[in-house]
């Protein structure tokens, strides 16, 4: 039997009824104003920002976050208390960007960051109360070998600085004290011979500095100045907020 106009009308109204009921059953608050059940939050122009479940105003279970173009930005799994969140975020092309733990909206413990080309590991960072704390290792994505190793304490560089050439030999050795280079500082040629030798005092070059050619012969000394290039910490604009 062919559908009549009446049947189409009934079907249209049924679909509308289902849509309204689904809409009414999400984004609910209780008498105390606390979020309960499924919530969907949209960007200002309408596309979905996130979706997930709340219990007594705290996120629980799995949340999905989206970029404005609709592609998946992150999957976050909240603990029963809602305080801890295991997060895996994605580049817009779908490749894994980063993974780690948030505790009360702050990074905690080990975080790993990946290339948007082939998901090669590019950085390993450690956090405490939202601040870098412990080792930060930057990798050459092509080989997976360390490019730089730093130590952090409560957000400041504190301890040995090591940089490496792509093949693995040491490029730079130094020490950070209270976020500034301090003490002996050495640059090497790729074959391991010393290129520059000197010292820092609270971030400023101090005392005698000696420069060597690739054969290991001193070529100059004195107060010649040069810049030490430092890798920037990789940051991603994604705290799993649900407000």
Cβ atoms < 10 Å from Cβ of 28: 13
Q: Is the CATH number 3.40.50.300 carried by domain 95-222?
A: no
Whole-number pLDDT of residue 45: 84
**Cβ distance 53 to 39 under 8 Å?**
yes
* Chunked mean pLDDT (size 10), the chain, 243 residues: 53 44 71 95 93 94 97 96 95 98 97 97 98 98 97 98 98 98 98 97 94 90 51 45 65
Q: Which residues contact 67 (CB under 8 A, 6 or more apart)?
A: 73, 92
Whole-number pLDDT of residue 26: 87
The pairing of beta strand 156-164 with beta strand 218-222: unpaired
Q: Which helix (H) or strand (E) is 197 found in, with range? A: strand 194-201
Whole-number pLDDT of residue 222: 59
**Cβ distance 30 to 58 under 8 Å?**
no
Whole-number pLDDT of residue 243: 66
- Domain extents in the chain: 95-222
Whole-number pLDDT of residue 82: 87
Cβ atoms < 10 Å from Cβ of 33: 7
Closest by Cα among 229, 131, 134, 218 to 172: 229
The DSSP call for residue 2 is: P
């Amino acid at each position: 039997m062919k559908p009549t106009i009446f049947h189409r009308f009934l079907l249209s109204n049924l679909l509308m009824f289902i849509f309204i009921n689904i809409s009414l059953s999400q984004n609910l608050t209780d008498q105390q104003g606390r979020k309960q059940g499924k919530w969907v939050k949209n960007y200002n122009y309408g596309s979905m920002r996130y979706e997930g479940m709340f219990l007594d105003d705290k996120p629980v279970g799995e949340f999905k976050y989206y970029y404005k173009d609709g592609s998946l930005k992150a999957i976050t799994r909240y603990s029963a208390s809602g305080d801890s969140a295991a997060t895996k975020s994605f580049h817009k092309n779908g490749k894994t960007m980063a993974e780690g733990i948030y505790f009360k909206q702050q990074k905690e413990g080990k975080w790993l960051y990946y290339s948007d080309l082939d998901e090669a590991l590019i950085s390993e960072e450690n956090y405490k109360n939202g601040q870098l704390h412990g080792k930060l290792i930057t990798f050459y994505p092509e080989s997976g070998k360390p490019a730089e190793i730093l130590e952090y304490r409560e957000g400041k560089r504190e301890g040995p600085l090591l940089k490496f050439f792509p093949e693995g030999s040491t490029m730079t050795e130094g020490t950070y004290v209270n976020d500034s280079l301090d003490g002996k500082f050495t640059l090497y040629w790729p074959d391991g011979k010393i290129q520059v030798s000197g010292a820092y005092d609270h971030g400023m070059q101090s005392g005698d500095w000696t420069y060597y050619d690739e054969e290991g012969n001193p070529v100059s000394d004195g107060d010649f100045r040069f810049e030490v290039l430092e890798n920037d910490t990789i940051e991603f604009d994604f705290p799993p907020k649900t407000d």
